Structures are given as C-alpha cells and as structure tokens.
Structure 1
C-alpha cells in the first residue's frame, strides 16, 4: 500500500508487510516494484526480505545477454561430451526463488518480454543454439526502480507490461534511515497492519470476493484484469496467516489497499441519493420506550436497511487508504503513475563493425566481426563425426559454422531549430517563439540529443549554432538572435535541409523544428515578391517530404494560413503556438522525433 508521504513509519511498516506477503508466495503474487534510491534504507528492506525467504535469490546484471538470461549451449561440457549439453540461464536457476532486477526502468524490451512470458507460464522455452527444451522457472520479481521521477523525466519508468504482472508497488523515497532502523530489531517477524491509519470495519466475508474486488477496481479506474486476481491471492494469504479458511472483509480491504490503491487512476463517484428521497426525507421516528424491545424481524430489517453493502465498505476503506499525494494528483486530473514510454537516444540501426552486440548470425568473417564463442557453439555438436584418427584434441570448424556478430547502435538524434527572425515574426511573436525554443531545447537536452539552430531573415539564412550538446551555448545563441527584415523562407528551409542531410550521411537522425508564420516575401535570389517567394517555399517544403526528413511546423502567426499550407506540403506535424502550451509543444516534438 502506498502510504502518506508525511507518515514514513507507516510507509516502512507497509513495506515490511508487503515483503512478508510476497515471501509467502513469490510466483503467485508476481513481485514488487520497489521505488527507492540506492542506500541503507533499501538495503535494510532487502535484508528483511532475505531473512523471510529461504529459497534462492539471484541478482540480474544490467544489460544481461540472452545466453545468460535464458540459457544456451554449455560449450566446455559439449566439447568434452561430443554432444549438445544445455547450460541453464539465470531464470532457470532462480526456479522457486527470487530475481532482483536493479535499474528496472532501463530494461530492454526483449528482456521485458522474456520476464513477462516466464511469469505467465512458470516455464522457460529454450530454443537457440540448436537446442529445444522447456525448463521450470517459477520465480518472483523484485524490480528496483531508480528512475528520477522528481525531475519529470518520463523516459525512466518501469515497463507497464511488467509492472502489471506484479502485485505490490512500494515507494521508500520518503522513508528515512531512522524510521527503518527503528524496526531493524524486528527483522524476520511479520508486521501487522496499522489500525490507526486505516481502521478495519466489521463485517463478514462477501458472497463473491472476486466480484467485490472487480467492482472496487472498476470504481478506481483500474483497467487491468490481473489486479483483482492478485488482490484476491493476497487476501487469501492474509486470511491464511490469521488462521482463517476464507478471506473476510478485513482481508479484502487490506489486500485492495496494497494492490489496487497504487493503481488507481480516478476517484469513485459518491453514491447519489434518490431524487424523491432527497427532496422529501422521511420524518424521524420517535424513540421507543426503554422497556420496549423491537421484534426480531423488525430489528433485522432495520439493520439491513442501515448497513452498507460489503462492496461499498471495501470501496470507502480503500479510498481512505489512498496516499495524500496520489489523491491530490487524481483531484488535479494528473496521472497517478508515470508514463511508461521507453527511453530513446535515437533510432536503433544495424552496424557491421560498431555498436552493442545483440546476437550472432551465420556469415563471412571478412564482412563482419567474428563471434568466436558462437562459432565454437555451432561446431561443438559435430566434433564426434568430424574428428578422424588422432585429431582428438582439435576442434574442426567448417565455413558453415562461422558466426558474425549482430551489432546495433543508437544513431544520435539532432534537433535542428529553424527559426523565422524576420520583421513580421519579430513584430508578432519572436519573443514568444524564443521562449518556445528554450522549452524544446530543454526537452532535447534531457534526451542527450544534439541541437542546431538555423535562422533566416533579410535576404538569406545562416547556421547560428552548429550541432552541439551545450544547452548554455544554444541559449546564448538564441538570446543574441536579432529580428527584422524580410522572410526568406525558402532559403531557411534549404539551409535546414542541407544541415539535416549532412547529419543523416554521418549516421545521425535529424529532426527539423520550424518556427515561422509562413508568410514568405523574399525569394532565393534575394528579390522581394510574395507570389514567387511563396511558391519557392512550398517547393522547398515538398522537397523535404521527398527527402524523407521529419519536420515539425510550429505556427507563430496570428492567422493559421501560410504555415498550415507549408506543413501540408511537407506532410509535417502542425502545431499552432497561440493555442499550445509548453506541455503540448513538448509532446509534439517527442511525437515528431519518435
């Protein structure tokens, strides 16, 4: 359960309680997303989990390769035996145990898919290196989320496909070492629920616990079908620890607080009273005499009419258990959880000699980098057939065994800001355009992209700032950008296109962000004339479309006519600045650079 930020002791107790429940059924509950900075508080919680759990615990290194994660061919054993020998990977070794995943917000998509498949089936399908096997892999995940959420970096987030399969979400960033050490002496014990923060209402078990949890999940906007099932499993564990055969209402409330409350995306609407009852409330009944006792049937009917339904009691209890910061975000209309967009540092492209290895393939070593281990793996199963005479100690390799590395590298993204600094732009919105460019510069800097600045005014265009990563240098060049003169829009597009094509030839990914009102009045020759200048600008925009250069047009004019036609000619994304705030402009740039 995610507690209030001003109650660090309660947050720590809930974290210990979640650890105890998770240790009782790791694979059934999926796991825990633990948001905490590296430090003694997180280490104390992990030590507590280790004390509670007796099975194997494996730590998954960042950037783990597939042969270590899911297994593959055991090369030394295969060479000794002369037949393929399977080497188990980390997930198979963790069968019946736990897997700790540091920096979980940076997991590759392939790794996320393999972890999710193993959680769903409890089995690991090994089909590589000429092997085919099914290995048991029933484990629980502990995802250590170290993303910088407080800095607004949405790129650092645990993948939603993986977090949805894990029951608990814990945040220890507001817990100090003093609160954690205060309960260090109770390590290994199962903490109880804090009654003072969320009192348990009385009541028996609902007729259908699944329906109750599903109703609560729907009321809080939890769209996942796994969340109510995980909450039901947690409620059964809570009831079993208390010696009850079936979960009662209190068990459902505690489980829903742990599993459903952190996933809430909206507040449930309060029950609306009946119209006639609200307008004409019934008169209060007179108090009966003290010696008069109501009949049993009357008492039962009165209790049934005044008591809340079990679904409503669970709903109200979970609503009271929502953390204050989450409640404030929901009331403000903001997302309760971070976005799960994957980090991006440019498009991934195949490279024959440079980049990160992502596997191997059959090929000629003269046209790539030889993967020696993969080559030996391909040759090892055939040694008994290939060896002849005294060649017992040799490894016979044929051309069909050669494997070359598959390499991928992230092409660097360069955002080229093409700014209209003409007299019309300066008269209308040049200062506002500079402010928008500064916001976009900050977005590009967060993603570690390069930035370039092209300005056009008078009779031509110039590259004010060549591609750089220096945000200070870019802001200085933007602040010193003068305004005035004509609008040589075609020359500005030509300069931006030439710079973008040069970046593409160097292996980068260019993106052009054009800020203009679209009212061109200076042709490429330097002569004035709106008709010719407008035609040349549209022709330059069509050339950008043919060259396949991504472009975002931000309209700085008061009338959406010229810039909109330019965006249509270039098939570019169009964003009118007068109707766009900083968030929508940043979202448009992210969409254009995706």
Structure 2
C-alpha cells in the first residue's frame, strides 16, 4: 500500500484483508461510497480477494436465494425435484444499493449469516443521507463499516495482500489463542460508547485475531486490539464516552517499617514486575477510549436520531412512501412466469395452458398430464392505493363574477362521488394574495360541504400560490402512500405573482412554473375553465400540468362535475 494513502483507505484495505481471512467470524463489511472512481477502486480490491463471490440484487426472491421446488421437473419425474439456491455454495455475497434492501431480504440474509455456513456479506451503501442505510439488524451482524465518502480518487489504489499471504494467515489463525482479557476490555469499551449489542465485542475480538494472523504475530497484542476497536466500534457508537471522575487526593500514611517503604530499589523492582510487557495484555482502558473517540463521526447524536427515525419507518409505524397499495385488489388474468416464492400458481390457468399439448407430449405410465415450465401461470391482482383528489378552486373576483357558484356546486357533487368511492378529498382556495387549505385530506363529506359553502369570493388571482399549496398536499399524500390527483377550477387569468406582487406577466410565469412542479407529483387530473369566454391561459396551464383542459363555458354544476369525473377516471 502506498505510503501516502489516506487513513480511511488504509483501514478499508485492512478490513477487507481481515474479512478474507475469517469471513465467517467477521460476517462482512459495509462499504459506504457514492458511485464513482473511489467505489470502483474499492470494488476492484474486493474482486482481488480469494474465494468465490456472488453479486445479488435487492429484489432477490426467496426461491433464487434458498432454492425451491421445480414444479415441472417434479411432475415429470413423479418425485420432488428442487432447484439449488445461491446459498448452497459458500461465497462472499455482494449487495449493491444496500440502502434499498427490503426488510424481507434483510431478514433472509441475517439467517444466512447466523447459520455460519461459510458465507460473508458486503453491503455497498450508496445512501446520501444518514437515514438512508441498510437494516440495523443486518448491519449489526457485520464487523466493519467503512465510509469512503470524503476520499478523492487520486488518493486510493486497489492494494490487498496476495492470495498466498492470505492462505498463510488463515493457517496461523487456527493456532492463535483467544485472550479473555482482551474480550473483557472490549466489552467494557462497548459500554462506554453506548453499544448494547453483544455481537460487537465478539466481532472486535475476531477482528483482532484476524489482524494478528495477517501480520504474522504469534499472539494478540494491544495494538491489534486497539486497531480492531477502531474498525468495529465507531459506526456503532450511540454516545460519547463519559469522562472518568477525578478522585480527590488524600494523604497516605506510609509505614516506614513496611517492607520496601524506603527502598527505592524494591519499588523499582515492583514497578518492573507490574509493567513487564505481555503480548496478550490488553491496552489501558483510557487509551482504547481515546483511540475510538478520535474516530467518532461528526454529528454523532444527529446520526443516531436519523437511524432511529429510519428504524421506526421500517418497523411499520404509520404509513409511508414504501406503501404502494393498501387495499386488496381484484384478480387479473394470469400470466406466464416462474414461481419465485412470492407469486401464487394459478392451477386452473396452468392446466388450461397445458391441455391442448397433451397429445403431442410423450408421457410415462404413471403420468396423467405433462406440464412444461412454459405452461405455468401465475396469479395476479390489481392493488391500487387510495386516491386523494385535491380541488383547487379559484375564488378571485373575476371567478366570482363568472362561475364561482357553479364551481361550488360542481365541487360538492364531486365530493359526494369521491365519498362514495372512498377517496380522500382536500380543498384549496386561492384569492387575494395567497391560498388557504380550506379542507385538509379527509373523507368527511359534511365537513367538506360546510367549509366550501363559507368560501367567499373576491380579490386578485394568486394562481401560483394555489398551485404551490396543492403541491404541498400532493407531496404529503405521496409520503403517506396515497395517489394524488388534481382538479383545478379557474379562469386562468392570474395577476398576483408568487411573491405577492401585482403583474400579469410574472404571475402567469410563476403559475406555469408551479404547474410543471405539480406535474411531477400528481398521477392524473384536469383543468376546468370556469370563465365565460375561454382563453389560451387555461390551455397553457393544462399543458404545463400534463392534464386535460375542459372548457365548459355554459355548463351547470352537473356538467362540470361530469367532465371532471370523466377526466379523473380516464
């Protein structure tokens, strides 16, 4: 390794080498780095480590991981035939995009590591924020957590020990003694940093043994224990160590008749005996604490809070953006596919697909029907999430003079239809110089009608403010697993800019800009031109939103309601 390599890179190479020596005892490592030359160099170093390696995907199914029943072969041979899984062969498993690993796969990989069948795991973490990380239960099983986010590509080089040196280190590892004093010191150190996992001291001791074998030492030294603590503990720490209390100085009565009381030679002899070098003696506690404390990340408490929030989101407390659907869907026609442990086989559809070919397929005496893999059909369901319809109503003076009464009636009819479909509804009204959320997302029809009837009219047309308020509701809806839709009722004649200034040109530009942003949040919607004489403003607004523009200059409330319903259900 080059002498000018950064300390973080040196530790990363040492961690990789230790992992190749004892993959089962160390479990694996987490490599946090964004895509780029630094991570490519680190992956090149991983590729040079001896032993088989397998690269998996966060969407890996249980059948691909553990294997499963080959239905076609089992039916053809009249006995159970299983396909091999990835875990049947011990290997170094590499998981890119580890921050996107679903809880299901994280639990399965934890089971694989707990079985200790020769597997090790490397998580390639590309998260940009502290809360973007792999599952805590999976991280707890991996000894090393390497962060290369702050390194420059010119300071790194893929340098790892050659395979022959690693093989010799594996042989030396089997002869090393596990010092109990080092384990006690590492356990006490974990308590100092608020590490409550019992795996951490064991992983740190395994790291010390692997580093000792890598350096060719005959026994574990204090330097190896310190290095192991520096590699294992900083990413697990939840608090800064407490300063030891200062003991008051007391006068000690010295017995001159005691042996060695006034004998400097005796004192020196005693000190020499106590401080005699012992290769297996752990370093002093204060040295270990200072070594690990120097490597604690900046903003440790903020990172701990971020991990707590991410753990709460993964545990299912409340609904979040990962909740794609929250109702049982209706059955869809079956499709061809290979069973992956998650989809169910549609037996009737499979038999229908295989029946026309039975006359052409050879069969044995014990077989009544021959099914090929191409005959298998998987059940499908349409799972739709709840929808939030955001009604953005123009209550300005121009709209009030034209169609505000019809717009209110149309919104009331649409609210009733949304209630019948069990959709969530929200009402945003914009007039004067800003916008108000008259009705937060709700299913209460009575409350929605009451607030809508009390909506006054008059003032300017702050279209951009209304669209901005609708965008905030849409973003919140997506975060709670809902599908937002927009129904904008306006004449399009904006005259109040987003900053509150008066001017049609700037107001129209701000409105188009907010509409383009809202387009990225809503799935469907429409723009209803409520003016007596439709113009080009609403058409441009609908194009910016990416929705249909419905021009109904002489329609009543029922006509407007029908047009909106047709646009939202398209």
TM-score (normalised: structure 2)? 0.55
3-state SS of paired residue (1:208): helix
Residue 32 of structure 1, aligned match among 12, 15, 29 = 29
1:140 to 117, 120, 123: 120
78, 97, 100: which is aligned to 1:103? 97
Describe the superposition over 1:199-255 as per-residue Cα deviations: whole angstroms up to 9, x where unpaired: xxxxx9975222111101111100111111111111111222233444222211111
How far is 1:58 from its partner? 0.8
2:405 is the counterpart of 1:405? no
Cα contact 2:68–2:83 (8 A) shared by 1:
yes
Corresponding residue for residue 545 of structure 1:
none
1:27 deviates by: 2.1
Q: Within 1, Cα distance between the matches of 2:366 and 2:68?
A: 22
Match for residue 438 of structure 2 among 456, 459, 462: 456
Whole-Å Cα distance in 1 between the matches of residues 40 and 425 of structure 2?
38
1:178 aligns to 2:178 (yes or no): no
Contact 2:221 2:282 in 1 (8 A): no
Matches within 5 A, 1:303-314: 304=274, 313-314=284-285
What is the CA-CA distance between 1:413 and the residue it aligns to? Answer: 7.4
Given the superposition, is the C-alpha separation of residues 463 and 268 from structure 1 closer, same or farther in structure 2, using an over 3 Å criterion? farther
Q: Cα distance, 1:456 vs. partner?
A: 3.4
8 Å CA contact retained: 2:96, 2:125? yes
Say which of 159, 177, 181 aligns to 2:135.
159
Partners of 2:93 and 2:104 lie apart in 1 by 17
Deviation by residue 1:372-394 (Cα, 9 ceiling, x = unmatched)? 99999xx9xxx756526xx8xx4
Equivalent residue for 1:329? 299
In 1, Cα distance between equivalents of 2:377 and 2:153: 52
1:86 aligned to which of 82, 90, 107: 82
Change (3 A) 1:319 1:477: same
Contact 2:92 2:120 in 1 (8 A): yes
User: 1:112-153: CA deviations, max 9, x gaps?
Assistant: 11111111113xxxxxxxxxxxxxx5310011111221xx6x
Within 2, Cα distance between the matches of 1:417 and 1:269?
56
Instruction: Return closer, same or farther for 1:77/1:473 CA change in 2, 3 Å cut-off.
Output: farther
User: Whole-Å Cα distance in 1 between the matches of residues 382 and 285 of structure 2?
Assistant: 51
Question: Is 2:314 the counterpart of 1:320?
Answer: no
Q: Which residue of 2 aligns with 1:300?
A: 270
Deviations 1:62-82 (A, max 9, x none): 312222121112356546644
Map 1:115-134 onto structure 2 (within 5 A). Answer: 115-122=109-116
Closer, same or farther in 2 for the Cα pair 1:337/1:281, shift >3 Å?
farther
Q: Is the 8 A contact 1:413 1:508 kept in 2?
A: yes
CA contact (8 A) 1:22 1:29 kept: yes
CA contact (8 A) 1:23 1:49 kept: no
In the TM superposition, residue 330 of structure 1 has moved relative to its aligned partner by: 3.7
Aligned 8 A contact 1:20 1:49 in 2: no
Residue equivalent to 2:342: 359
Alignment gaps of 5+ in structure 1: 1-6, 123-136, 193-203, 284-291, 419-448, 465-471, 482-495, 511-594
Shift of 1:305: 9.8
Answer whether contact 1:216 1:311 (CA < 8 A) is retained: no
Q: What is the rounded CA distance, in whole Å, between the counterparts of 2:148 and 2:233 in structure 1?
A: 18
Shift of 1:89: 1.2
1:231 to 204, 226, 246: 204
Q: TM-score, normalised by structure 1?
A: 0.53
d(CA) in 1 for partners of 2:49 and 2:425? 48
Quick check: 1:345 aligned with 2:322?
A: yes
Matched, 1:260 2:260: no
For 1:69-80, what aligned pairs fall within 5 Å after superposition? 69-75=65-71, 77-78=73-74
- Higher mean displacement: 346-355 or 223-232: 346-355
The Cα of 1:106 is off from its aligned counterpart by 1.3
SS in 1 for 2:25: helix
For the structure 1 residues 371 and 112, does the alpha-carbon distance in structure 2 shift closer, same or farther, using more than 3 Å as the test?
A: farther
Counterparts of 2:353 and 2:69, CA distance in 1? 9
Indicate the residue corresponding to 2:537 in structure 1: none
DSSP-derived class of the 1:100 partner: strand
* 1:304 Cα offset (Å): 4.9
> Greater shift after overlay, 313-322 or 258-267?
313-322
**Structure 1 consecutive aligned stretches of length 4 or more whose deviation exceeds 6 Å:** 189-192, 309-312, 354-358, 371-376, 415-418, 449-452, 472-475
Tell me the secondary structure at the aligned position of residue 295 of structure 1: helix
- Alignment gaps of 5+ in structure 2: 167-176, 254-261, 315-319, 393-423, 429-435, 440-448, 456-462, 485-570
Equivalent in the alignment of 1:125: none
User: Could you say what the CA RMSD is over the residues aligned between the two structures, in angstroms?
Assistant: 5.1
